[in-house]
């Protein structure tokens, strides 16, 4: 069974940084695009960023472009999200999600999420 | 960005009755070269991550009960639950991946009447 396990969330002050990680198992990690999707408390889903299987192409929501960086290490079956210049509106549960294919498709597996709280 | 608009925002349906949720996109999500609509539906129960129900607008994900169906093309899509069960209480989201700027609808909360 595919497993995605996020880590790295926590409490940070505005302007600070955090690095999220997602450990993947039970599928050929390098063959699939991976994404981060977030959900603010009591709100809907917001796509954050995606990266193709090879890691050669990355995509970002306008709300995080220039502040967040997605990356992956296919040798470690791991996905990352470096979050800099954090704002209060970045407070959310961050989900790691597996794409259906190597391109930008729908998401067939999701992790349980990691909570990021940005507050002074 | 492609804006996804769901209706209604909330819906109460009796057990065993049909539930219908609409999703409209601000531009077509039909990729003409392969005739596929880049539209998915998800179910999210409280405290859980979303679960993929439908992809390519009408293809049911493995393991999803056949009471769930998706239809539509271009800019107008529908998720139908043919006979509502208690375990279907959830928030439902549509999502487009036609654009690399993926967007979700605002969600529809489905409850039992």
Residue A56 above 90 pLDDT? no
CB contact B43 to A (< 8 Å): no
Taking the CA atoms of residue B2, residue B10, residue A47 and residue A76 in that order, the dihedral angle to the nearest 10 degrees is -140
Backbone torsions φ then ψ of A44, nearest 5 degrees = -85, -175
Task: Tell me how many degrees the CA angle A9-B95-B38 measures, rounded to the nearest 5.
Answer: 130
> What is the chain A residue with the closest CA to B37?
A105
Q: Which of B52, B100, B104 lies closest to A44 in CB terms?
A: B104
**Cα A93 to Cα A41, A42, A98, B70, B110, distances in angstroms:** 8, 10, 16, 28, 22
Task: Give the model's confidence band at A93: pLDDT under 50 very low, under 70 low, under 90 confident, else very high.
Answer: very high
| A115 part of contact set with chain B, CB < 8 Å | no
For residue A59, list chain B residues with Cβ-Cβ distance below 8 A. 100-102
pLDDT computed for residue A54 by the predictor:
83
- Residue A105 pLDDT level (bands cut at 50, 70, 90): confident
User: Can you give the pLDDT at residue A103?
Assistant: 78
* pLDDT band at residue A87 using 50, 70 and 90 as cut-offs: very high
Q: Do A105 and B51 touch (CB under 8 A)?
A: no
Q: Is the pLDDT assigned to residue A104 strictly greater than 80?
A: no
User: How large is the average pLDDT for residues A15-27?
Assistant: 97
Q: Which residue of B has its CA nearest to A58?
A: B100
Across chain B, which has 113 residues, the per-10-residue mean pLDDT values are 97 98 98 95 97 96 97 98 98 96 97 97
Nearest CA in chain B to A63: B101
Residue-wise pLDDT tens digits, A70-79:
999 999 999 9
Q: What is the pLDDT of residue A101?
A: 80
Q: What is the pLDDT of residue A5?
A: 98
């Amino acid at each position: 069974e595919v497993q995605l396990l996020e880590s790295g969330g926590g409490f940070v002050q505005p302007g600070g940084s955090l690095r999220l990680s997602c450990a993947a198992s039970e599928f050929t990690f390098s063959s699939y695009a991976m994404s981060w999707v977030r959900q603010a408390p009591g709100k809907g889903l917001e796509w954050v960023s995606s990266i193709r299987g090879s890691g050669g192409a990355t995509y970002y929501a306008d709300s995080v472009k220039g502040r967040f960086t997605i990356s992956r290490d296919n040798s470690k079956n791991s996905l990352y999200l470096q979050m800099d210049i954090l704002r209060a509106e970045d407070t959310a549960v961050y989900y790691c999600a597996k794409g259906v294919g190597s391109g930008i498709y729908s998401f067939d597996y999701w992790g349980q999420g990691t909570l990021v709280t940005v507050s002074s | 960005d492609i804006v996804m608009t769901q209706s209604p925002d909330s819906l109460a349906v009796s057990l065993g009755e049909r539930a219908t949720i609409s999703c409209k996109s601000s531009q077509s999500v039909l990729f003409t070269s392969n005739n596929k609509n880049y539209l998915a539906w998800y179910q999210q129960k409280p405290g859980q991550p979303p679960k993929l129900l439908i992809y390519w607008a009408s293809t049911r994900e493995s393991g999803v009960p056949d009471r769930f169906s998706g239809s539509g093309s271009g800019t107008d899509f529908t998720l139908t639950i043919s006979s509502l069960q208690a375990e279907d209480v959830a928030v439902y989201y549509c999502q487009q991946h036609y654009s690399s700027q993926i967007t979700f609808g605002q969600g529809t909360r489905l409850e039992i009447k």
